Amino acid sequence: MVAAIQTVQALLDSPSFAILATGVLTGASAALLGTFLVVRGQAMLSDAISHGVVFGVAVTFLLTGNATGPLQLLGAAGAGLLTVALTEWLARSGKVKRDAATGLVFPALFAAGILLLGLFARDAHVDVHTVLLGEIGFVWLDRVQVFGLLVPRSLLVVFVAFVLNALYVALFYKELTAAAFDPVLAELQGLRPRMATGGLLALTSVTAVAALDAVGVVLFVAFAITPAVVGRLASQRLPVMLTVALIVAAAAALLGYPLAVVTDLSIGGCMALLTAAPLLVLMPLTGARRRRA
C-alpha cells in the first residue's frame, strides 16, 4: 500500500506526467461535451461560455481575494451560464439577431473581466496573459494536498471535471441524445430535454473554468469543437462520434507535448493544433455537398 502510494506520488512529481495528464483530461472533458454541442449546431456556445467565465473569475477574485478554490470555480462557472442566459434573452427580444446577440454579450463580459483583472489584480496569481493562453507547461508548480498525496492543482481540477462530465453523459445519455437530435420528440416522451441542456451548459461552464489555467480561453474552444467535428465527419452515429472525439483529443495532447518539447514551441498551441490534423485526411475523403441554390 505504502509502495503504491509512493509510486503514484513519484508519477505526480514528474512535470511531464502532470502536463500530459492535464492535457489529456482537459481535451477529453472538452471533447465529451463538445460532441453534444456540435450535434446540436451550437458549437459556438463553448466560445461564448469560455470567454464569459473570465468575468466570473475576475468578480469572484475581487470579492474573495482568492483566485482558486471551489467557491471561485462555482462563481466563474455561474458567469458562463449568465453569458448564455443574457445571449438568449437578447436574441429573444428580437432587437438583434442571434449571431449578433452572441457576438455582443460574451465580448462585453470578457472585456469587463480582463479590465477588472488588469486594474485590480496585476500582482496576483491570475494574470491576463494566462487567462488567454494558459500555462500548461507550469501546471506542476502549484500543488495541493489530497488524501496524503501532493497533486498539481490544475490536474486535480480537470480530473474532477472529467469525472463529473463522464458521469453526467453516462447517466443522462438517453436524455442528452434525445435533446440533441429531436428536442420536440424528447419533450413528448417526457425526457426533459431542457434539463439535459441545462446540465450540459452548466458542465461546459465548469469545464471551461477548470481548463483556464492549463489552456486558456481560446484553446479550450479548439478542444471542445475540433475533435467533435472530426468525430462527426467520421461517423453519423453518436457513440462512434464520442469515441473518435475522445481519442482525437487525447492523442492530440499526448503527441502535442513531445512535439512542443522537440520544436521548443508553445505546448498548449501544439496540442490544440494537432486536434485539427485528422481533418487533413478526412476532408478530402468526405466530399463537399453541392451548394443549394
Partner 1 sequence: MLELLTDPTVITVSLGALMLGLTSGALGTFAVLRRQSLLGDAMSHAALPGVVIGYLVAGGRSLPFMLLGALTTGLAAALLSVALSRRRGVKSESALGVALGTGFALGVVLLSYVQRQPGAGSAGLEQFLFGQAAATLRSDLITIGVLGAAALLVVALLFRPLKLVIFDPHFARANGYRVQLYEAVSTGLLAIAIVVGLELVGVVLMSALVVAPAAAARQWTGSLTGMVWVAGGIGAGSALLGALLSAAVPGMATGPTVVLVASLVVAVSLLVAPRRGVPVDGA
Binding site for partner 1 (CB under 8 A): 38, 41-44, 46-47, 90, 93-97, 99-100, 102-104, 107-108, 110-112, 114-115, 118-119, 122, 128, 132-133, 218-219, 221-226, 228-229, 232-233, 236, 264-266, 268-270, 272-273, 275-276, 279, 283, 286, 288-289, 291
Q: Which conformational region is residue 182 in: left (phi greater than 0), alpha (psi within -120 to 50 degrees), or beta?
A: beta
Query: Closer CB to partner 1, residue 149 or residue 282?
Result: 282
Query: Closer CB to partner 1, residue 51 or residue 143?
Result: 51
Closest approach, Cβ 229 to partner 1, in A, equals 5
Query: Closer CB to partner 1, residue 8 or residue 132?
Result: 132
Closest approach, Cβ 206 to partner 1, in A, equals 19
Closest approach, Cβ 24 to partner 1, in A, equals 17
Instruction: Say if residues 43 and 34 touch (Cβ distance below 8 Å).
Output: yes
Closest approach, Cβ 273 to partner 1, in A, equals 4
Closest approach, Cβ 252 to partner 1, in A, equals 10
Query: Closer CB to partner 1, residue 145 or residue 236?
Result: 236
The residues that bridge with 122 in the sheet, in sequence order, are none
- Torsion angle in degrees (nearest 10) through CA of 28, 26, 201, 173: 20
Q: Which conformational region is residue 127 in: left (phi greater than 0), alpha (psi within -120 to 50 degrees), or beta?
A: beta
Residues 6+ positions from 130 with CB-CB distance below 8 Å: 213, 216
Q: What are φ and ψ of residue 41, in 5° steps?
A: 75, 20
Query: Closer CB to partner 1, residue 12 or residue 272?
Result: 272
CA distances in angstroms from 37 to 50, 122, 139, 162, listed in the order given: 14, 35, 28, 17
Closest approach, Cβ 32 to partner 1, in A, equals 16
Q: In the numeric block, which cell numbers belong to residue 206?
A: 465548469
Query: Closer CB to partner 1, residue 30 or residue 77?
Result: 30
- Give the separation between CA 114 and CA 110, rounded to whole angstroms: 6
